[in-house]
Chain A
Amino acid sequence: MRQLKAFALAAAVLLSTSTAWVQDSLAQSSQITIARPVSTTAMDPGFLREAATIVDNIFDTLVMRDKSMQLVPGLAESWKPIDDTTWEFKLRQGVKFHNGEDFNADAVKFTIDRIIDPAAKSPTLSYIRTVAGVDVIDPYTVRIRTTEPDPLLPTRMSRYPAYIVPPGYVKQVGNDGFATKPVGTGAYQFVEFIPDQHVKLKANPGYWRGKPAIEQVTWRAIPDGTARITALVTGEVDLIEGVPVDLAPMIAGSSDADLVQVKNGGLTIYLGLVMKDKPLDNVKVRQALNMAIDRKGIVDNILKGMATPKGTQVGPADFGYLDIPPPAYDPKKAKALLAEAGFPDGFRIKMQSTLRYMKDGEVAQAIAQQLGDIGVKVDQEVLDWSVYVQQVPRKGPIFMLGWGSTQTLDADAAVYAILRTGEPYSTASIPALDKLLDESRKIVDPEARKKVLHAIQELSAEQVPLITLYQEDSLYGKAKSLNFEGRPDARIPVFEMSKR
């Protein structure tokens, strides 16, 4: 019966979509449509299994990031550490959820409790894994307790799953109802969600940061790159996310659209090295491989300049970034190092890669060729992402992977999970590095922490537990009439946009 209802409902929606849109009387100029490659499945920020791009416009966090990626007050007006494991947040007063509910300390406690409840099985629990509990001090003051000193707590409160939800409404509709009809305090309020078709939002007139310039925004999913760019160039949509490098000229050559290139806005691509396998256990071999790769050549020729060669996994906008230049391309020295390590004639090794990142197939081929130049014969294996992602932590012995810290803009996200011995995505094992990594997670004082993060990057550059290649730009296409700059944290806040 339930199935029959679902079928009938979908059939009815299909028939009515065209007419419903026509009835909209909003001025054309203040409406925009944004196309993303992926469909949205659900919009409960506590239980997301996808990027928070859309919910970011519906909800607010206690702490926000401005355009220059600095942490600024959001729903919290201020915050400070009380002791090593307690942070106090003073909340903004007079903010209301879209349904009229008041935002207050109870809402914060409800939001966090809902996620850290082990029975709730939130898929993004790990993003706030240090949170032990929330104490309501008064209606506009909360204290968040952590299980250990956590310097990143304010950062954790700036992203999902910590978007603040309305307790009354969530209790009333349940988690499932909330995921398809979300209510937040954000710049846009929910209008309509039709799976695989669109999500519609309209401006929140009482928004605490002021009324948004764009009245209505429709999010569409267009999986195919050519179709997505065509939709932009022909004016069907105003903004697209995910522009394939090969197709970027289609936008650049259009008179109605612009390519938006956000430097260091994407993933950092690296070669993981399974360090327990011979000969990668030898630091000289790792150093040799590191300098045998022509990063600049790859970026200029294959990626058409849409990436930046790098010498550290940490992004330039991250807290704790140390400007380590990429190692110089020096095949002669690499060969000499290999000989010193006992491999004058090189060796044979398998390299795995996938098809997910910018032109990764061609990049992998170029790397195989360059390693071949120093006598390392590479057997390439290219796997589908869904298979690849599960093998990565174990196989290799060389594997290509993209890793990002743009969601937190802190060095911790860029290094810990892929360098610390025993972490699921880490194939590195350097005891001195582990010591530094563990230490970095326990220091709350920013200056002291920065020093340790720098030491981690210096040691990595010397020991080469993995080979950092380059950081991708993030590419968007936008209509010329739309004001949109693109952010390093990959968010698309419609609140910051306007239309000419």
Chain B
Amino acid sequence: MKALIFIANRAAQGIIVMLGVSAIVFFALFLTGDPAALMMSPDASRAEIEAFRQAMGFNDPIWVQYGRFLGGVLSGEFGNSLRFQRPALDLLLERLPATALLACTALLWSSLLGFFLGTIAAVRKDSAIDFAIRVISLLGQAIPVFWLALILIIVFALNLRWLPSSGIGTAKQLILPSIALGAYYLSAITRLVRASLIEVLGENYIRTARAKGVQGWSLVVHHALRNALIPVITVQGIYFASLLGGALVTEIIFAWPGIGRLAVESIQNRDFPVVQAVVLFAAFVFVVVNFLVDLAYLWLNPRIRL
């Protein structure tokens, strides 16, 4: 019963968040200016712009437009993209596989390497290797992704000519963007695993295990790591959710045909329906994944079981 109330509570919170996001994306975009003037060709006359605005419904009261928007969102209709003249949600879903592929690859390699480095750093705490790993992970979080992406292109595509500079279609084309995108998460996961593991290694039950004679990697892997992973998995869920909303900078630089690039190009072209669909989608994924993480937490950690 308690668990049910908890779930209902979280679901209600999610709905409130989504309503808030919908209001923000709708009004924020509308208050920045007049879409009709931009969508028409530059030498269109005033009368032509006015006729276009009327036809698109931009002249209705803003509350009427919001009501229409909300009704549409609930039935999965975000309206037609002004630029593509196609349903906004279709455009988004067409680009989801590319974004998901990049997100999964980036998160996979950064997680595996992050676990490995974080564990070594925790076990060899305060050693030279720990110091080196900490410096590297600090750098990884400090370096802006656009800079790293351009450096990767210049070094590996332009100078060494090992890898293609952009595009999609072959495994080789996936390497540079997933490195650029994963670098930040590698650092974050390394630091988190390290901190979490160091904390767990100081717990009483680890001392008990040591007292019983469990030693070395067996102690780390079987006793400590399992518990240390709980916060890491929570954070990874959130990373994954944010990645599915599209990697704006990485997708633009590597000409990756995903949701992030769609978002940036739609913003540049003031393509309202698409921007709204992308933001709401990102928020929706975030809310859902957070909800699932909460559930997973219940299941993973018996100590907080309700």
The answer to whether A68 has its CB under 8 Å from any CB of chain B is no
> Which of A14, A129, A413 has the largest number of chain B CB atoms within 10 A?
A14
CA of A260 to CA of B270, assembled, Å: 32
CA of A271 to CA of B288, assembled, Å: 50
CA of A124 to CA of B52, assembled, Å: 11
> B157 contacts A195, CB within 8 Å?
no
CA of A231 to CA of B255, assembled, Å: 11
CA of A417 to CA of B150, assembled, Å: 40
Q: Which residue of A lies closest to B172 (CB)?
A: A18
> B97 contacts A233, CB within 8 Å?
no
CA of A21 to CA of B170, assembled, Å: 10
CA of A129 to CA of B51, assembled, Å: 14
| Mask: chain A, 375-412; 1 = CB below 8 Å from B; 0 = not | 00000000001110111010000000001000000000
| Mask: chain B, 70-97; 1 = CB below 8 Å from A; 0 = not | 0000001000011111110111011111
**Option from A41, A123, A403 in Cβ contact (under 8 Å) with B41:** A123
Chain B residues 24-48 with CB under 8 Å of chain A are: 32-34, 37-46, 48
**Option from B84, B95, B165, B270 in Cβ contact (under 8 Å) with A10:** B95
**Option from B43, B89, B90, B253 in Cβ contact (under 8 Å) with A126:** B43
> B44 contacts A39, CB within 8 Å?
no
Query: In the assembled complex, which residues on chain B have CB atoms less than 8 Å from the CB atom of A3?
Result: 76, 89-90, 93
Contact A6/B93 with A18-B170, A126-B48, A195-B257 known, Cβ cut-off 8 Å: yes
CA of A17 to CA of B85, assembled, Å: 25
Chain A residues 121-137 with CB under 8 Å of chain B are: 121, 123-127, 129
**Size class of the A contact interface (CB-based, 8 Å):** 35 or more
| Mask: chain A, 112-150; 1 = CB below 8 Å from B; 0 = not | 000000100101111101000000000000000000000
The answer to whether B59 has its CB under 8 Å from any CB of chain A is no
B-binding residues in A (CB < 8 A) = 2-4, 6-7, 9-11, 14, 17-18, 21, 38-39, 41-42, 47, 49-50, 118, 121, 123-127, 129, 176, 179, 194-197, 220-224, 226-228, 230-231, 233-234, 236, 385-387, 389-391, 393, 403, 413, 416-417, 422-425
Q: Can you name 29 A-B pairs with beta carbons within 8 Å? A: A2-B90, A4-B93, A10-B98, A11-B97, A14-B101, A21-B169, A41-B84, A42-B84, A47-B85, A121-B55, A123-B39, A123-B52, A126-B45, A129-B48, A176-B85, A195-B95, A195-B257, A196-B262, A220-B167, A222-B166, A222-B255, A223-B261, A233-B158, A234-B161, A234-B165, A386-B33, A390-B33, A390-B38, A423-B43
